[in-house]
Amino acid sequence: MSQRSDVCIVGAGPAGAAAAVQLCRAGRTVVVLKPVPSGRARPGEHLAPDAHTALTALGVSADRLAGVAEPCPGRMIRWSSPEVEEASYLHAEGHAMNVDRVHFDRLLVEHAEAAGAQLILGGRLIAAAHDGGGWRLTVREDGSTGPGPRPRPGPMQLRCAVVLDATGRRAAFARSRGARTRPRDRLVAVVASTTAFRSADRRLVVEAAPDGWWYAIPQADERLVVGWVTEPTTLRAGSGGPGAAYAAGLSRTELVRELVASTAGLGSEPPQVMVAGSGLCEPISGPGWLAIGDAAAHTDPLWGRGVPHAIELGMRAAEAAALPPAHRPAGLAAYESVVRQRWLDSERARALWYRQAGQRFGTPFWHHAVAGDT
C-alpha cells in the first residue's frame, strides 16, 4: 500500500493534534500516526487558565469540554514558608481546568479528524529516508479512520514533504535524525489517585516538602490525583520501592495528607512513576522535519502550562511546515527561536521558585534541584 501526503505527524498528543488541525486549515493533507497505548492510562492533569486561549484558537468550544475538563476556581500553595497562600483564578481567559487526560487527548484527536486529518491507529514508523523529493516512510498499521484509504495487511509506504515529531519526551524521530535531548534534571513524578473525593472545594493544592513537592488535583469522577515530584535517588533510598517511598513522603506533608485522609484512601494499584524533568531537544528541527510538544522541549509541571504551550506551539509549527519549500527554513528558524525562549523563560521562573523552597528546607533534594543535577 502506497500513499502520498503533505505532512506526516508521528504521535497524537495535544501538540500533534493541534498541528494537524492547523495544517488542515492551511489546505495541507495530513497523516497522523497514533501509537497503541502502552502501560497504564495517564493520570489527571491541571491546566492553567491560558489553556482556554489555546483551545479557542484551535476551535474547541467550551461545551465540548463538558465531562472532560472540570473548572478549577483557584489554588492553595504552601511553598516558601509554612503559611498557606490562597489565590483565585480571576483571569480574562476563565478558570483553570482539571482534566482527564485520556478523554482530553481523545477529544483533540477527534477534532483533528473532523478537520480532515487521516488517523492511522497503531501507526508505527519502521523506517524513514530523506531524498530530494521529501520523505519515504515505512509504516506498520493496525487500523485507520478518517479520510483516505482503509488499511491493508503489511506495511504501507508513505511519501511526504515534512515530518513532525510529536512522540513526547522520547523525541523518537528527532533522535533518529541525530538530535539529542539536553536534560536539565532527572526529576520524576510519582502519581496515585484516591476515590470518593466529594469535597466541594475543587482547587489545586501544591505543597513543598523536604524531599520534593506535591500536588493534588480533584477530578470530575470523584478521584483525587495526588502526585509527588522528587528525584530517583529518593525512591531508591528505602527497601519498599516507590510505593513505600510515596507513603513515607506523603506522611511528611500537611495539606495534601489532610486531603487524602478525607477520601476513601489511595487505590490498590501501585503509584505510577513518570519522567517529570525539563529538557530541550538539540536541534529542534532539521531538513524536512521538526520536533513539537514535549519532543521539542519539556518543562517542569509546576505551573500546568505544558498542554497549553503544546497546543499553541504545535499550531506555530504547523504554520512553518505549511510554508512553501523556499520559505520553510526561515519559518522553522522562527519556530525554534520561540520554543527556546519559552523554555528558557520557564527555567528562569522555576529556578526562582525552587530557590525559595530551597531556602526554607535546605535539604539535599532542593540543593540538587536548584543546581539542576537531580
pLDDT for 90 beyond 70: no
Parallel/antiparallel/unpaired status of strands 96-99 and 45-47: antiparallel
Q: What pLDDT is recorded for position 88? A: 86
- Least confident range of 46-55, 135-144, 167-176: 135-144
- For residue 195, give the DSSP letter: S
| pLDDT at 371 (0 to 100) | 81
| Tens of pLDDT, residues 211-241 | 999 999 998 888 899 999 999 999 887 777 8
Which residue ranges form the domains of the chain, and what is each CATH number? 2-72+99-183+278-350 (3.50.50.60)
Q: Mean of the pLDDT values across residues 104-122?
A: 96
State percent of the chain over pLDDT 70.
94
**Would you place residue 158 in the very low, low, confident or very high pLDDT band (cuts 50, 70, 90)?**
very high
Residue showing cell 509546576: 302
- Strand 204-209 versus strand 74-78 pairing type: parallel
pLDDT, tens only, 290-346:
999 999 999 999 878 899 999 999 999 999 999 999 999 999 999 999 999 999 999
Per-residue model confidence (pLDDT) at position 36: 80
Q: Find residue 8's DSSP bridge partners.
A: 31, 163
Q: Is the pLDDT of residue 143 over 70?
A: no
User: 104: which 3 cell numbers?
Assistant: 482530553
Residues pairing with 207 in the sheet: 78, 214
Best-predicted range by mean pLDDT (41-50, 110-119, 135-144)? 110-119
Question: Positive or negative, the Cα torsion across 330, 332, 338, 341?
Answer: negative
Q: What is the mean pLDDT of the chain?
A: 91
Mean pLDDT of the region 99-121: 95
pLDDT of residue 74: 92
d(CA 23, CA 4): 15
Task: Identify the helix (H) or strand (E) that includes residue 143.
Answer: strand 143-145
Q: State the average pLDDT over residues 50-62.
A: 92
- Strand, coil or helix: 182: strand
Once rounded to an integer, what is the mean pLDDT over residues 246-259? 94
**Residue 55 backbone class (left: φ over 0; alpha: ψ -120 to 50; beta: rest):** alpha
